[in-house]
């Protein structure tokens, strides 16, 4: 069974990609909405939250877990692997390498939460794979909350992006990396604001493929279990709005653990 967790709705993008690639896979997705977003929280707190979410999924039989959050991947992926070597963890990392190969202008904008943009993983990826390109990290505080509120396609999001991406556009960025799984739901707005001739790189499908490789592929009954640490009625409505799936949603309170 494959588990997916994020601080909120972002993990649904991975789940959608998994379901497209592997209709028979059994998937459990946990949205830690009671504590969303992770991006503005201290690293140690994010690490503890990630271990709690992983424990919940492991208790439910997941042997492969996607850490569908760039902030949690940066803060906790290594410690998760050390703590549970019997579980395959697949994390998120900013797609600097493919962006560096794709850009024509030589300017790349990496869009993420404050925690991701200021974290060491992005700096490492730029150093390893930047290939002499100009890579500009752009933090978008508040965008996760707007997406959680169902506003991904609202004019307010376009206005927000016009303001926050003005610098990257002025510098000639032609490739935009989504370094937050939530942002995939605002992809249309990002493409509208950045204009024609630009490319948006969303890692959801490559991450889903990696999860299937390590989990053994398209095996199971095709069940999808959705969990939240907040309001299940709201989460059910959000899943229906974003994915068009009407699924029951369970509420859990992730337990405290060390990590």
Say if residues 228 and 251 touch (Cβ distance below 8 Å).
yes
Strand duo 224-228 + 27-31: pairing: parallel
Which stretches of 105-255 are DSSP H helices? 114-117, 120-129, 143-148, 155-164, 166-170, 187-194, 204-215, 232-243
Rounded to an integer, what distance in angstroms lies between the CA atom of residue 179 and that of residue 231?
A: 26
Say if residues 73 and 6 touch (Cβ distance below 8 Å).
no
Rounded to an integer, what distance in angstroms lies between the CA atom of residue 139 and that of residue 111?
A: 6
Say if residues 95 and 177 touch (Cβ distance below 8 Å).
yes
Say if residues 3 and 37 touch (Cβ distance below 8 Å).
no
Is 127 exposed, middle or buried, given 0-12, 13-18 or 19+ CB atoms closer than 10 A?
exposed
Of residues 87, 253, 100, 83, the one with CA closest to residue 173: 100
Which residue out of 1, 15, 30, 69 is catalytically annotated?
69
Say if residues 148 and 121 touch (Cβ distance below 8 Å).
no
Alpha-carbon distance values, 61 to 72, 80, 189 (Å): 21, 16, 37
Which residue out of 147, 180, 193, 201 is catalytically annotated?
180
Look up 62 and say whether it is catalytic.
Answer: no
Say if residues 122 and 179 touch (Cβ distance below 8 Å).
yes
Of residues 48, 8, 13, the one with CA closest to residue 256: 48
Look up 180 and say whether it is catalytic.
Answer: yes
Active-site residue set: 69, 180
């Amino acid at each position: 069974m494959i588990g997916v967790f994020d601080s909120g709705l972002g993990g649904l993008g991975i789940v959608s990609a998994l379901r497209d690639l592997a209709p028979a896979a059994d998937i459990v997705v946990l949205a830690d909405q009671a504590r969303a977003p992770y991006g503005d929280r201290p690293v140690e707190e994010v690490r503890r939250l990630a271990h709690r979410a992983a424990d919940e999924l492991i208790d439910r039989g997941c042997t492969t877990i996607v850490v569908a959050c760039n902030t949690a991947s940066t803060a906790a992926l290594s410690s998760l692997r050390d703590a549970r070597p019997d579980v395959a963890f697949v994390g998120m990392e900013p797609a600097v390498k493919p962006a560096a190969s794709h850009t024509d202008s030589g300017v790349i904008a990496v869009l993420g939460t404050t925690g991701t943009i200021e974290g060491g993983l992005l700096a490492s990826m730029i150093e390893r794979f930047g290939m002499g390109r100009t890579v500009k990290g752009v933090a978008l505080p508040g965008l996760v909350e707007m997406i959680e509120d169902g506003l991904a396609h609202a004019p307010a999001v376009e206005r927000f992006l016009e303001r926050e991406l003005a610098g990257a556009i002025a510098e000639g960025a032609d490739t935009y990396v989504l370094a937050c799984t939530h942002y995939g739901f605002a992809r249309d707005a990002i493409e509208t604001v950045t204009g024609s001739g630009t490319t948006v790189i969303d890692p959801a499908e490559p991450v889903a493929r990696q999860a299937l490789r390590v989990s053994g592929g398209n095996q199971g009954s095709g069940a999808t279990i959705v969990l939240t640490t907040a309001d299940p009625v709201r989460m059910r409505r959000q899943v229906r709005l974003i994915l068009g799936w009407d699924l029951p949603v369970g509420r859990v309170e992730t337990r405290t653990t060390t990590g």
